Structure 1
Amino acid sequence: MAFYGIDLGTTYASVALAHRGVARMIPLESGGVTLASTVLLDGSDPSQPSVIVGRRAPIAWRDRCASLGCAPPRVALVRGSKNHLAVTHSVAGGPPWSLGAMDLYSTDIGALVLRALRSWVERTPGLAPIDGVVVTHPQRLRNRERRAVAQSVSLAGLPSVAMLPEPDAAAWAYGMGQRFGSRGARFMVFDFGGGTLDVTILRREGGGGAPTLEALASYGVQLGGLGVDELLRERLLERYADAARAPGLGLHEVDEASREALLSVAEGVKIQLNQHATLDANPMARVASRTLALRTEGGASLPPAVVRVTLGELARWTEELTERAVDCAEEALSRAGLGWSGLDEVLLVGGSSWLYPVQARLRALRGAGAVRIFDDADDPLNPACAVAAGAALYAERCFTDGGKAAADYHGVIPDALGVRAREADPARPGERREALAVLVPALTKVPFEGRRVFRKRGGARVLPIDVLEGATLSEATPLGRFEVALDEGLADGSPVEVILRVGRDGVLSLELRDPRSGSSRSVTLTDAEGLYADDEMDARRAFLAGVTLDAGA
């Protein structure tokens, strides 16, 4: 049986398959290991909506804009949809995106990217059919957002077997290697992608048997390479306006094709300036130049002009982003009770980890020799590969017949989990107030089972239990409502034990138990904002299955 690992990234996605402890990256666009998570939605023919997934999507968008002189009607280009997970309302610059008669959200866009990855696997000679997938997600996602990713997997028609936080997947790949031998180590996974930065601190214990990996703490923020591209686009336009003698030219004054072209140029300049910059004697003097020819919103051609940017300039422009990234790493260290000197190594993964200013700051804090980035394209710890490779190794270890335990891993949940309850109000004696009763504390190792006994209030047979994620009621995110049918004989004031379980993959389950009789009730989540109900899932699955998809060749 073949279980694949998938990194469903904000800007790029990848897929891998492991065999006997060795991960193999599946070749995707242009023979590389990634597929751009950019999607062109074309509803111009309502009877046959179509999509393009990958690097060709923005090219097709620019061509259509140029030919029409404006943004084409009923056609949309979607970037960074993962930044809007579990959002099912209108967002400026985000969802919904229309495709024919259907409004799509991040869950649907994720399904289209996953369907494109599936097509690459199915078209690659010699690959076994997909029996299951382990799909990764940012560590910072709360349970509702993780479940939205799971819905994307289902809508894509993929058999899901597990989900895994992205830095945990990279840690799995790293910790299973032989670089530490039998010795223990503490290391940081610094996973800096297109839209999110996740930092996890881990401890590896050696010994005579299989090594043990334990997550000590984690922290994440919404920060990534897409933001760098957008900032650099603005600076490139400023340089172009000066060179073309068009002072004050802003993004809103150039046409849609020019705005999209500028974003692609910005990404290319960023990569050219940063990749392998550590090999240069004076990296900050690196220069990238491009010839730009733009058009105004009214269709007038602007003169071509050459713009140049140095790495030193980019470093100054992104100084705030770099410091936010360092702050995120130091928050994870603080939660683990460590300083930089307490780490043996720092593993850089994710496409944005190539940013030289970020690498330089981390090396200054921990030491150059301890900050590792594996730049060999065929290395499973390459920033573009590590997450998918780790997910594939995890899949082989846990689900493939004959898989051998190369490591034992325990992750942590980033936020506390609890239920809404009423408790005595210390400010008003004799009165009660609503509160969050925490059953699973933040940074708890998984799997875990939290228990607490409450008193039933009222005579209703069906007891609604609101499950929330967060430390306090005021800042907690609702995960949904469990409707539990109680025994008819359970009187008002009777004790009820609530058991909240968190699986190794972060999936929640809830059980209610009568401590006196031992009888229990298992329940399922029936209400969660931002998720599709079963009938909506069926309708969207049918619609997406009928969409013509071009994933490239």
Structure 2
Amino acid sequence: MAASSSAVRRPQGAAVLGGVNVGSLLLLLSGTFAVFAALLARHGFTGRDHVVGIDLGTTYSVVAISQKNNVTAIADKEGHVLVPSTVAFLPNGGVLVGREARAYRTTDPQHTIFNAKRFIGQSYEDVLTSEADENGVSPYEFGVKMLQDNEHDGVCFTLALQGQRECVTPVEIGTAVVRHLRSMAHQFVGHDQITKAVIAVPVDFNARQRNATVAAFRAAGLEVSRVLEEPTAAAIAYGLHQDPNVSFLLVFDFGGGTLDVSLLFARNGAISVLDTLGDNHLGGEDLDARLSAWLLKEFEAQLGTAIKSRRTETEEKTLDDDSREPPCTMTGVRQAAELVKRQLTDASVTTAACVWKDSKKLVRAEVKVTRTQFEELCGSLLERTMIPVREVLEANNMDTDEIDAVVLGRAPLSDIDPDLAVAYGAARTLD
């Protein structure tokens, strides 16, 4: 009697692994992958990592991305594309970055760090030379001390807060800002596949400063694909490297804390920096300081009392950077001055105001400011901005009529916001 068979007949060529039909498994995996890919595409993932362009600036930073030959400057959740390069440390161990950090400066200026780009990769002696006055006194309210045996930084910023370290380096401040920018980019593209960045650094950064900047990006989780010099990035943003009618161009980069004037030569899609000069202690912040000093006297005359750097009840609530009525403190008056400066870009007259809290009531001080007044107050500073322009041209035996284009003059290019040009150019190198 023949033994019964329990064998199951399978189609020829089908394979079994651990009791599972491999063909069916592959079909299932293919379907799953197709659904997963569709979901990724819906959320902006194109099948390759996105690379962003980042301008880690002294006062403000910008992140931009190039998608299908279109460059977009990425805004934060409030719609701002300019992110203050400011980091604040809280008593509970928390950290604020950007606009929240800058607003917190009115509450605790000793633990709100800004202008870290001035310190990155610098020795303590270099910092004393560039930042301190003739008596070796720092102009900053936060503390700066010597740091030894650090690969990238020669100084750190002191903290005296429970839950925080005793000192943080300029690289670490840069890392916090870059991490914030990367998070903004993640929100914009809808996924976290952003692993690389093209960055821009000042022309006069030495090797240590450049390496320290790259280290800040790496610590924030971004590999640096390419390092551009800032004037080159600005020129690329306007496509001047591809314009056959442009050979010599002048980049006038008036930033928040520094002024850089660069003479560039463009040919066959390539750009070279011929010369650069500038002023490391002249920028938009100096205009703010000049205006705030004048406003301070006007407010004090109205209030009948001296305005000091003190915390008031009106500062208990975190202020928005665009608040029209900051507290009547040194920091609050400076905030009012910056707002007035921005408003006078378009308006011929505006009003500066601050609020004073005394024991009985709130007192509002108000001063009207015209553009003519502002220009007269800042006239000597504006004249200083022309000095490196004249010196660069004279050093290269050139006249103004030999300059084919002026970035940021002579029919200046303005189709891109100058504040965004460097980040745009960094992103555009990927096209």
Instruction: Please say if 1:97 is aligned against 2:158.
Output: yes
Residue 4 (structure 1) shift? 1.1
Q: 8-17 vs 25-34, which deviates more? A: 25-34
Report the secondary structure of 1:303's partner residue.
strand
1:56 corresponds, among 100, 109, 112, to 100
Query: Does structure 2 retain, via aligned residues, the 8 Å contact 1:36–1:54?
Result: yes
Q: Distance in 2 between matches of 1:29 and 1:265?
A: 23
Instruction: Please say if 1:39 is aligned against 2:87.
Output: yes
Q: Which is richer in strand? A: 1
Query: Which residue of 1 is the match for residue 284 of structure 2?
Result: 225
Query: Which residue of 1 is the match for residue 121 of structure 2?
Result: 86
Structure 2 residue runs of 5 or longer lacking an equivalent are 1-48, 133-137, 145-156, 316-326
**What TM-score does the superposition give when structure 1 sets the normalisation length?**
0.56
TM-superposition CA deviations, 1:111-156 (whole Å, max 9, x none):
1100111111122244672231112122233333222212221222
Residue 51 (structure 1) shift? 1.0
Residue 61 (structure 1) shift? 4.5
Amino acid at match of 1:310: T
Report the secondary structure of 1:372's partner residue.
coil
Query: Does structure 1 retain, via aligned residues, the 8 Å contact 2:240–2:266?
Result: no
Q: 1:253 to 1:33 in 2, by over 3 A?
A: closer
Residue 300 (structure 1) shift? 9.1
Query: Which residue of 2 is the match for residue 241 of structure 1?
Result: 300
Q: 1:336 to 1:173 in 2, by over 3 A?
A: farther
Query: Does structure 1 retain, via aligned residues, the 8 Å contact 2:336–2:353?
Result: no
Residue 52 (structure 1) shift? 0.9
Q: Distance in 1 between matches of 2:330 and 2:404?
A: 44
Query: Which residue of 1 is the match for residue 413 of structure 2?
Result: 372
Query: Which residue of 2 is the match for residue 106 of structure 1?
Result: 170
**What TM-score does the superposition give when structure 2 sets the normalisation length?**
0.71
Q: 1:83 to 1:294 in 2, by over 3 A?
A: farther
Instruction: Please say if 1:317 is aligned against 2:396.
Output: no
Q: 1:294 to 1:82 in 2, by over 3 A?
A: farther
Query: Which residue of 2 is the match for residue 262 of structure 1?
Result: 333
Q: 1:125 to 1:372 in 2, by over 3 A?
A: closer
Query: Which residue of 2 is the match for residue 543 of structure 1?
Result: none
Q: 1:61 to 1:326 in 2, by over 3 A?
A: closer
Residue 29 (structure 1) shift? 4.5
Q: Distance in 2 between matches of 1:146 and 1:61?
A: 28
Q: Distance in 2 between matches of 1:327 and 1:166?
A: 20
Query: Which residue of 2 is the match for residue 188 of structure 1?
Result: 250
Q: Distance in 2 between matches of 1:53 and 1:164?
A: 25
Residue 316 (structure 1) shift? 1.7
Q: 1:29 to 1:39 in 2, by over 3 A?
A: farther
Q: Distance in 1 between matches of 2:383 and 2:275?
A: 20
Report the secondary structure of 1:150's partner residue.
helix
Query: Does structure 2 retain, via aligned residues, the 8 Å contact 1:234–1:251?
Result: no
Q: Distance in 1 between matches of 2:59 and 2:77?
A: 14
Q: 156-165 vs 188-197, which deviates more? A: 156-165
Q: 15-24 vs 191-200, which deviates more? A: 15-24
Amino acid at match of 2:284: G
Query: Does structure 2 retain, via aligned residues, the 8 Å contact 1:294–1:302?
Result: yes
Q: Distance in 1 between matches of 2:332 and 2:406?
A: 35
Instruction: Please say if 1:198 is aligned against 2:260.
Output: yes
Query: Which residue of 2 is the match for residue 326 of structure 1?
Result: 386
Q: 1:129 to 1:237 in 2, by over 3 A?
A: same
2:424 corresponds, among 389, 401, 424, to 389
Quick check: which has more Rg, 1 or 2? 2
Query: Which residue of 2 is the match for residue 471 of structure 1?
Result: none
Amino acid at match of 2:342: I
Aligned residues: 339
Q: 130-139 vs 254-263, which deviates more? A: 254-263
Query: Does structure 2 retain, via aligned residues, the 8 Å contact 1:58–1:260?
Result: no
Q: Distance in 2 between matches of 1:127 and 1:201?
A: 40
Query: Does structure 2 retain, via aligned residues, the 8 Å contact 1:187–1:344?
Result: yes
Q: Aligned ranges for residues 59-458 of structure 1 at < 5 Å? A: 59-62=103-106, 65=107, 71=108, 76-87=111-122, 89=124, 92=138, 93=140, 94=142, 95=144, 96-98=157-159, 100-126=164-190, 129-176=193-240, 180=243, 182-205=244-267, 210-222=268-280, 223-246=282-305, 249=306, 251=308, 258-274=329-345, 276=346, 286-294=348-356, 303-348=363-408, 362=409, 366=410, 370-374=411-415, 381-394=416-429, 396=430
Residue 103 (structure 1) shift? 0.3
Residue 50 (structure 1) shift? 1.6
Q: 1:314 to 1:344 in 2, by over 3 A?
A: same
Report the secondary structure of 2:340's partner residue.
helix
Report the secondary structure of 1:10's partner residue.
coil
Q: Distance in 1 between matches of 2:355 and 2:235?
A: 44
Q: 1:251 to 1:113 in 2, by over 3 A?
A: same
Report the secondary structure of 2:222's partner residue.
coil
Residue 302 (structure 1) shift? 7.4
Q: 1:61 to 1:173 in 2, by over 3 A?
A: closer
Q: 1:212 to 1:166 in 2, by over 3 A?
A: closer
Q: Distance in 1 between matches of 2:262 and 2:123?
A: 30
Q: Distance in 2 between matches of 1:233 and 1:295?
A: 19
TM-superposition CA deviations, 1:278-305 (whole Å, max 9, x none):
xxxxxxxx22212322358xx8977322
Give the percent of matched residue pairs that are identical in Structure 1 and Structure 2.
30
Query: Which residue of 1 is the match for residue 28 of structure 2?
Result: none
Query: Does structure 1 retain, via aligned residues, the 8 Å contact 2:240–2:246?
Result: no
Residue 201 (structure 1) shift? 1.5
Amino acid at match of 1:373: S
Query: Does structure 1 retain, via aligned residues, the 8 Å contact 2:84–2:102?
Result: no
1:9 corresponds, among 29, 45, 57, to 57
Amino acid at match of 1:238: K
TM-superposition CA deviations, 1:26-71 (whole Å, max 9, x none):
22252232222222111x23xxx22111212233454xx4xxxxx5
Q: Distance in 1 between matches of 2:289 and 2:72?
A: 33
Query: Which residue of 2 is the match for residue 448 of structure 1?
Result: none
